[in-house]
Amino acid sequence: MPHTSHRVSQFTESVIRRMTRVANECGAINLSQGFPDFDPPPALQEALAHIGRAGPHQYAVTWGAPRFRAALARKQTHFTGLPLDPDRHIVVTCGSTEAMMAAMLTVCDPGDRVIVFSPFYENYGADAILSGAEPIYVPLRPPDFAFDPAELRRAFELRPKALILCNPANPSGKVFTRAELLQIAALAEEFDVFVITDEVYEHIVYAPHQHTYFATLPGMFERTVTCSSLSKTYSITGWRLGYVIAPERLIEGVRKVHDFLTVGAAAPLQEAAIVGLEMPDSYYHELQAAYTRKRAVFLGALDAAGLTYSNPQGAYYVMVDVSAFHQGDDLAFCAWLAREIGVAAVPGSSFFREPVRHLIRFHFAKREETLRAAGVRLLRLRSV
């Protein structure tokens, strides 16, 4: 039999999604793969039920249903101040996962280099391999996950094609300050590099931290490919609705890649999600408030269990130091934690380029009662 491609031998299946299967097998509370255990806003559920009968049920325009793109352009213009044109600046994708892949395939040729901050969301490693790009890792050092500006400059001196920026960051919970983003912008300008952003947690930021959209920095719109999704903002991870926002000359490439990867995101779901995009500002305030409470409940549970962690500034993940419980293999530790303690987490090694084995990632996009129940189980760690 012939061999399968070299490409697919270079990466493993997702550890995040594997941990969900482990959690399901042993009945653990699943704080590994980040998705809610609560429903989306009722208005979205009602719209979906209505569209089930009324349609559309056939393909939307490849790069996004016109009404969806118009609503998205209005919403993102409202939050970013950028004058976005739904016909020139937007491609609707199957989640931000496809958006990132399409962005990488549009920007990178095989052999190009891309800067990736480490720890990083594991998809970026596979995105780089699939597009033939070679990552240059720049560490974000725990516990505060700051980067060393000199180290970042040295990475730019290796002449990368693009930098990948996840902000607010998965898994670290870091929200890059405006000053940090301006440093990145200055280097992107100086070395003529594209910036591909993953901003899926744009609306999950804890006071006093604030999200700055990279594309809004002076001169940056022209070189930024913004990727995001509706998954986290409206608690609809299964709807797989994401998007790319970029200047026209980049969007042309993204449209082509997207067309041949997936043809389009699900037409009925685009239609149903419009009510989400039209939510008033109060919706986003309530979302922040709800996640701020979830963070407080879960961090309180970690404190009670005697666990130390980096306080997340945004997104819904927390990196926890488990060096008191194991010295070696964090995958084995997470398997043990799921089986014996009944709470599933993601081993930190799946996010770090560096040999980090003492951190694990929990997410807290769960009902407060689920988080409390996880807290009760984690208390058992005290007697281990």
Q: What is the dihedral of CA 274, 279, 284, 289, to 10 degrees?
A: -110
Cβ neighbours around 358 below 10 Å, total: 18
Candidate residues 15, 28, 31, 33; the one interacting with ligand GLN per rule CB under 6 A? 33
Spatial contact of 107 and 162, defined as CB atoms under 8 Å apart: yes
Query: For residues 357 and 243, what is the distance between their CA atoms, to the nearest angstrom?
Result: 34
12 binds ligand GLN (CB under 6 A): no
Spatial contact of 319 and 361, defined as CB atoms under 8 Å apart: yes
Q: How far is the CB of 11 from ligand GLN (least distance, A)?
A: 15
String marking each residue 84-103 x if it binds ligand GLN according to CB under 6 A: -------------x------
Q: How far is the CB of 104 from ligand GLN (least distance, A)?
A: 16
String marking each residue 169-208 x if it binds ligand GLN according to CB under 6 A: -x--------------------------------------
Q: Is the link from the previous residue into 40 a cis peptide, with omega within 30 of 0?
A: no
Q: How far is the CB of 269 from ligand GLN (least distance, A)?
A: 16
- Residues that bind ligand GLN (rule: CB under 6 A) add up to a total of 7
Beta strands in 171-265 (DSSP E): 194-198, 224-229, 241-245
349 binds ligand GLN (CB under 6 A): no
Nearest residue to ligand GLN by CB is 34
Q: How far is the CB of 17 from ligand GLN (least distance, A)?
A: 5
String marking each residue 133-172 x if it binds ligand GLN according to CB under 6 A: -------------------------------------x--
Q: How far is the CB of 335 from ligand GLN (least distance, A)?
A: 17
Query: For residues 300 and 188, what is the distance between their CA atoms, to the nearest angstrom?
Result: 40
Residue 243 structure tokens = 């998007």
Q: How far is the CB of 34 from ligand GLN (least distance, A)?
A: 3
Candidate residues 34, 86, 139, 264; the one interacting with ligand GLN per rule CB under 6 A? 34
Q: How far is the CB of 150 from ligand GLN (least distance, A)?
A: 30
Identity of the residue, 63 or 121, whose beta carbon is nearer to ligand GLN in the bound complex:
121
Residues 6+ apart with CB under 8 A from 234: 40, 41, 44, 273, 276
Identity of the residue, 188 or 227, whose beta carbon is nearer to ligand GLN in the bound complex:
227
Residues 6+ apart with CB under 8 A from 26: 338, 339, 342
17 binds ligand GLN (CB under 6 A): yes
Cβ neighbours around 224 below 10 Å, total: 25
> Which alpha helices (DSSP H) does the chain contain, by range?
6-9, 15-26, 42-54, 66-80, 95-107, 123-131, 149-157, 178-190, 248-262, 267-277, 281-304, 330-336, 368-378
Contacting residues toward ligand GLN, per CB under 6 A: 16-17, 33-34, 97, 121, 170
